[in-house]
Copies of this chain bind each other. A is one copy, B any other.
C-alpha cells in the first residue's frame, strides 16, 4: 500500500500515519519530494485491513499495490498446472472442449445432444440440471432427475460430465453424479459455496463473475484452493459492459492475463460470452489462438426449441464444423510452436 499525503500535510500528520502503521505491526517508509509526500507500507498484507489510513489527518488517498491471492498465483507456483479429470487433462497440449445444451430438458434431448457432442470429439458433456435464472418464473432445471440423465449420458458415450452447482445442499448430489462441478458467474462471490466446493474432492470449473475483475476472480479461486482443493479451472464467459449488441463482452485478454498471473488452466465460453450463435465460431478460434486451454460451448439438437438460451446455441452442423476447425488450429499452433505464453 502506498499512502499519498495532502500537499499541506504537516510533519505531525506524517508522524501520525507512521505511528498507525507501526501499531498495526507494519513498517512505513517516507518518500518526500518537492511537490509530494508519499508513504510506502511494507509487510504482511493481511494486517493492512485493520488500518484505515484514509481517515487519518493529512491523508489524501491510498493505493493498494499487492495481490491478496497466493495459492492461485504463478509467483507461488511458476509451472502451469494440468488438471486431471478422470483421465482428461485440462491445461495440457490438447484443447479440452465441454459441449452440450444449456439446460437438461429431457432424456431424449440430452442423449441426442450427447451423441452429437461425442461425434464431434469433445471430451466433456455439459448441461444444467440446476439453472440460476433472472426471473423466478423461468425454467429452473430438472434438478436431481437432470443429474441422473447426465450420468446415463456418460454411460452411453464415455464423455465426462460437468454441471453447475448453485447451493451448498446441491454439492453432494452433483458431486455424486458429475466429474466436475461448475460454479456459475452469479455465484463467483458466493463465498459459502466456494468454501464448500473446496472440500468436495472433485475438480471445479470456476466461471468469471458478470462484472468481476481478474483480481477478484483469482481470489475466488483462492477460496476454493485454501480449503484444500487445488483442482480449479477458470472459465472466461464475458463481462458486463455498456455494449448492447452482444449479450456480454467476451474478454479474451483475460486469457493472456491469467496465463501471466496464475498457473491455473483457463477455458473460454463464447456462447454465453456473445449470446449469438453466429459469433461462436470466430470467438472460439480466437480463444484458442489467444492461448486458451479449451472451450465451453452450447450445442442443442434443435436450438429453436431450447428451453433456455436458444439464440446462442449451435446447431449440430455448426458444432461439427467448429470442432473440426478447433482441432486443426490447435494442432497447427502446437506444431509451429506458436504458443502465446512461455513460462
Contacts and interface: CB of A to CB of B under 8 A. Distances in A.
Contact of A276 (B7, B44, B54, B246): B54
A245 B219 contact: no
Contacts of A332: 329, 332
Contact of A213 (B75, B213, B244, B309): B244
Counted per complex, copies of this chain come to: 4
Contact of A43 (B33, B210, B243): B33
A180 interface: no
A97 to B, nearest CB: 16
Contacts of A38: 2, 40, 65
Contact of A36 (B42, B51, B189, B309): B42
Nearest to A169: B168
B286 A219 contact: no
A79 interface: no
Nearest to A248: B253
Given A69-B135, A256-B279, 18 more contacts: A27-B33, A31-B42, A33-B43, A35-B66, A36-B42, A36-B66, A46-B137, A52-B310, A55-B304, A68-B134, A134-B215, A166-B191, A214-B245, A250-B253, A253-B273, A260-B278, A285-B338, A289-B329
Interface of A: 2, 4, 6-8, 20, 27, 29, 31-36, 38, 40, 42-46, 49-56, 62-63, 65-66, 68-69, 75, 132-139, 166-170, 186-187, 189-193, 210-211, 213-216, 219, 222-223, 226, 239-246, 249-253, 255-257, 259-260, 273-274, 276-279, 281-283, 285-291, 303-311, 313, 315, 325, 328-329, 332-333, 336, 338, 340-341
